[in-house]
Chains A and B, each alone.
Chain A
Amino acid sequence: MTVRDALNAAMEEEMIRDDSVFILGEEVARYNGAYKVTKGLLDKFGEKRVVDTPITEMGFAGLATGAALAGLRPICEFMTFNFAMQAIDQIVNSAGKTYYMSGGNVPVPIVFRGPNGAAAGVAAQHSQDYAAWYGSIPGLKVVSPWNAEDCKGLLKSAIRDPNPVVFLENEMMYGISFPMSAEAMSEDFLIPIGKCKVERQGSDVTLIAHSKMVTHCLEAADELAKEGIKAEVINLRSIRPLDIDTIKCSVKKTNRLVIVEGGFPAFGVGSEICAQIVESEAFDYLDAPVERVTGADVPTPYATKLEALAFPDTSLIIKVAKRALYRTN
């Protein structure tokens, strides 16, 4: 099943299960979504529950927030999270804080979803990763799934969650197919928000990533295995709440930590994990400095070769993992 179909199935199942769930955004209905993630939903659920809106992120994110305040469960699709900055006040100040500010009187059950991070050849203003931005806000939950199973189980959990959830997809992953377990195909399949997944066991070095970078880490682990290095690969799945316990356990076992992300380095997801590890008892288990492998600290360039230089790839992760093991410089 492709990531795209998994997201589509999650929304369809939850819309069947709960009448108050509806989806809105630019071109989500008749056009089936800019990336076809909402394909077929208009035919199945009609115009009342699959709503095309005019082009105004602050407008439809505000409308979605209002609908959630009034008791519906909206799924608000952004064509990309890069454009959601025009709506970030609604996400952070209204959706994220109203439950607390209202003294627990007014829940805001809403999912903001859409592609996040770098795609291909779309330059600085379409390529940013917002995990760290939303991850810093108390009141929001932030999810960054990797494969089809993640997408289905986490999106279903996000839709059922009583809190606003920022659901960060990746355009490059939409068309990728993954095997699905029978359990994952079931309509009761949920993945808990706030728990990461150890995708591959290992004892020599821990590689942590979210979204598309998990693919690169698994590839790196395969290559490292050929040299006898057993890398443990952790798929973060949730940015907030962050499952730091699982990470600490892994660090205590491998004594070496490499954090990989497609975002900028400064104040990023990797920075946060690194800080939490060095503040904890896991610090005493480290045999090497924590390494962060991130996007370059420049606005993303358009030209293909420059763009490739701006983001981590498998060979870079291999190189850094070896550095953490003192095998190279």
Chain B
Amino acid sequence: MFRSTTTGTFSALKQSNFLPFRNYSQLRERLPRSQSPIVSRPAFFNSVTFDGQQIPTYRVLDGVGKLLDATFTIEIDEQLARRLYENMQLLPALDNILYNVQRQGKISFYMTTYGEEATITGAAAGLAMNDEVLGQYREMGVLLWRKFGIQQVFAQCFGNQEDMSGKGRQMPVHFGSPEHHFHTISSPLATQIPQAAGVAYALRRMRSGAVAACFFGEGAASEGDFHAGLMLASTIPSPVIFIVRNNGFAISTPSTEQYNGDGIASRGPGYGIDTIRVDGNDVLAVMTAVKEARRRCVEEGRPALVEAMTYRVGHHSTSDDSFAYRPRSEVEDRKRIDNPIVRFRLYMESQGWWNAEAEESLKARLKAEVMKEFKRAESMSLCEVGELFTDVYGGEVPWNIREQREELGSLLKKYSKSWEPWRNQLAKYKNEGQDIMEE
């Protein structure tokens, strides 16, 4: 009995590349399947850092856009800086219009990116264009970085016939585009996290060199899916970067009530995942951290975790009024003290890459482009009525779908000319319902 136990321990230690022991008494000083050192005093701990302090936050630019460490080299030139800046400025340009469009009742819902422009844009720039992105919902900036286009943003939010994300079937901001390697947004929180482990598993088999990038908030990290997803990505193992937007609020719940530990980053090492915390309002820090996370994922075929600390300046969504749970002054203060766009603009100005004139002209151009696409989307027809019934199943269409389609077609045929409410409704659809009436 004694022998077999020690032999088991011995092989376990050998398996984990631990130095083999020759002496059984030494062996008994180790635990089976563990390299934990034995100590003689009870020592509790509640920190993942060596010194018991909070996990540090990586930052490149200070609050006024100066390099924190002038000796540290970052890969940035004027062209890349301008691209980053334009992407960051495009987000509020779209948010300003689409938020008001929702308020006017023209679309049902919208979510702004206010305050998180650097987190989204920096992460997008740190990824390769063909990395598979699984977003939560506030990641429109990644698609814009990948040239999804303002026109597609409006088409999706209006659900019109030009909507390539989903033929008008998904709520606003639930984008998706295989061409841009951006997975369709799923409303139930955190389901994308274990899925990202699966996407990365598939990439490892089918397209090595690419990674999956999975975005979510600190609130979603309370879902069981978060824990399951990180564990699977680590144990199966798969090249996926988990990018946490820790923006301070899960709708109304402040992050101080969401967790009692050291943010989300402290959970990475618990799952054996390389982890970094980064200043999410510093676009260069986010970009550099995600790039390095990506390098590790590709080289080691394992996951990495990036926690970006930011602040949600806007309401959670158009269904939320955040001044019910946080003072207006707090938001105004954050906007003034640390605006991620201003911080990067100050850096660009210090490099001689930007000035007031460039700022004015960019803003005017973006506003004009956004207004043009808004007008176009507003007057665009919806998809054909028959699209209600397509894509429920791939392959042969089952009888229950066919039957519903035929029933609606025959009703429209019978009444759509004579019944005014239907006639008015049908006028909004491409081909005005002819597609199913003719069948």
Contacts and interface: CB of A to CB of B under 8 A. Distances in A.
A63 interface: yes
A53 B199 contact: no
A69 B198 CA distance: 8
B116 to A, nearest CB: 24
A66 B392 contact: no
Nearest to A65: B195
B327 interface: no
A106 B165 CA distance: 10
A103 B395 contact: no
Interface stretch (A10-18, A93-101, A182-190, A259-267): A93-101
B198 A56 contact: no
Interface in A219-245: 241-242, 244-245
Interface string A276-289: 00000000000000
B228 A56 contact: yes
Nearest to A59: B228
B178 A105 contact: yes
B188 interface: yes
Contact of A105 (B176, B193, B395): B176
Given A56-B228, A101-B184, A141-B393, A66 B201 contact: yes
B56 interface: no
A141 B398 CA distance: 10
A99 B232 contact: no
Interface in A86-112: 89-90, 93-94, 98-107, 109
Contacts, number: 159
A54 B202 CA distance: 18
Contacts of A107: 394
A123 B97 CA distance: 57
B231 A101 contact: no
A63 B174 CA distance: 21
Contacts of A58: 194, 224-225, 228
Interface residues of B, number: 52
A72 interface: yes
B163 interface: yes
Contact of A71 (B164, B202, B400): B202
Contacts of A242: 400
A72 B202 contact: yes
A53 B201 CA distance: 13
B169 A94 contact: no
A100 B169 contact: yes
Interface string B208-237: 000010000000000011011101100110
Nearest to B234: A54
A63 B194 contact: yes
Contacts of A64: 198
A59 B195 contact: no
Contacts of B399: 241, 244-245
B198 A62 contact: yes
A254 to B, nearest CB: 22
Contacts of A194: 398
Given A63-B232, A63-B236, A98-B184, A106 B178 contact: yes
A69 B191 contact: no
B362 to A, nearest CB: 33
Nearest to A67: B198
Nearest to B202: A70
Contacts of A94: 186, 188, 191, 195
Given A63-B201, A105-B184, A90 B235 contact: no
A62 B230 CA distance: 12
Contacts of B196: 66
B170 A62 contact: no
Interface in B108-122: none
A139 interface: yes
A327 interface: no
B390 interface: yes
A241 B202 contact: no
Contacts of B229: 59, 62-63
Contact of B191 (A62, A100, A138): A62
B324 interface: no
B375 interface: no
A54 to B, nearest CB: 6
B287 interface: no
A28 interface: no
B92 interface: no
B245 to A, nearest CB: 20
B183 A106 contact: yes
A319 B269 CA distance: 63
B439 interface: no
A310 interface: no
B150 interface: no
Contacts of A98: 184, 186
For B198, B203, B401, which residue has the most chain A Cβ atoms within 10 angstroms?
B198
B206 interface: yes
Contact of B199 (A67, A162, A244): A67
Contacts of B164: 103, 105
A30 to B, nearest CB: 14
Nearest to B185: A101
Given A103-B391, A106-B184, A162-B395, A90 B206 contact: no
Interface of A: 48, 51, 53-54, 56, 58-72, 74, 89-90, 93-94, 98-107, 109, 138-139, 141, 161-163, 194, 241-242, 244-245
12 contacts: A53-B235, A53-B236, A58-B194, A63-B201, A71-B202, A93-B188, A94-B191, A102-B165, A103-B164, A162-B393, A162-B395, A163-B395
Given A103-B169, A104-B167, 5 more contacts: A66-B202, A101-B174, A105-B178, A162-B393, A162-B395
- Interchain residue pairs A-B with the least CB separation, the first 9: A66-B198, A62-B194, A59-B228, A66-B195, A162-B394, A70-B202, A104-B391, A63-B198, A103-B167
